[in-house]
Structure 1
Amino acid sequence: MRLSELFVMGGSLFMTIITIWGICMLVFSVQKIIHYFVQGKFQKSGLGLILLFGSLAIVSGFLGQAIGLVMAFNAIEAAGDISPAIVAGGLKVSMITPLYGTIIFILSLIFWGVLKEVYIRKTES
């Protein structure tokens, strides 16, 4: 299964929102890295934004899953008798957005943790 297919299966709206949060997280991370390595200065201000955008990504993923599950259960209720394979397939698809959001959240934790450690070591020396 290709990544583009997963993106569409996860729901274009929420996958796009999560991608935007991920891009914002990367922009602030790169900005901090550029300030440190190119300009030689490092400020703690704005460091929390990296974690904020990662958190927004995971929360958006779970919100997308919840909305998708409610819609799926409404369709199951309207259809009546549904095979377990169809339900399992729907549950599998519903896990795509939280998984994507969790990956972005983990990346934001890594960037935030490393940059915070750089800041602590720089202020101690």
Structure 2
Amino acid sequence: MLKQIKELFYLGGIEFMVMLTILLIITTAWLIYHFVLAHYSKKVSSEKVIRRLGYGKIMGLFTLVFGICGSMLGLYSMFLQSEIITESGIKPEPELVFDGISVSMIVTIYGLLIYSFSLLFCFIAIKAINKKQLSS
């Protein structure tokens, strides 16, 4: 399983996958820091914390957009290669085109997973903070 994930990481394009991983770490650290700050501090207002957790959702959305940009660049590169192959007189095989499309989607899927994680974390954190505010 780990070998397959590592293979997908390299297939997706190391530059984009590393950048998305860095954005995942930043987003996760941001969300955890502000959740812990709100959960254990009595001085912080819940409105301020919810707004800052919203910034975490925006960071997650940025990772999705970055993943889509990586996918678009991958598709563009694939179409350029197909054009070069066609100009040399060779007809591109449909299997190669479909493989190129599937490989270009890896970055988008990774960005989507990170965005989904940030949405889920924000939802759970906001519910926990609101529950704590009601019980206080």
Q: TM-score, normalised by structure 2?
A: 0.82
Deviations 1:47-96 (CA, angstroms, capped at 9, x unpaired): 12210111011101100000110111011011011011111111110110
Matched, 1:74 2:62: no
Aligned match of 2:111 in 92, 97, 101?
101
CA RMSD of aligned residues (A): 1.8
Q: Is 1:48 the counterpart of 2:54 in the alignment?
A: yes
Unaligned runs of at least 5 residues, structure 1: none
- Give the total of aligned pairs: 125
Q: Which has the higher helix share?
A: 2
Q: Which residue of 2 aligns with 1:21?
A: 23
Partner of 2:36: 34
Residue equivalent to 1:117 = 127
> Structure 1 residue aligned with 2:100, among 84, 90, 93?
90
Give the 3-state SS of the residue equivalent to 1:46 in structure 2. helix
Structure number with larger C-alpha Rg? 2
2:19 corresponds to 1:3: no
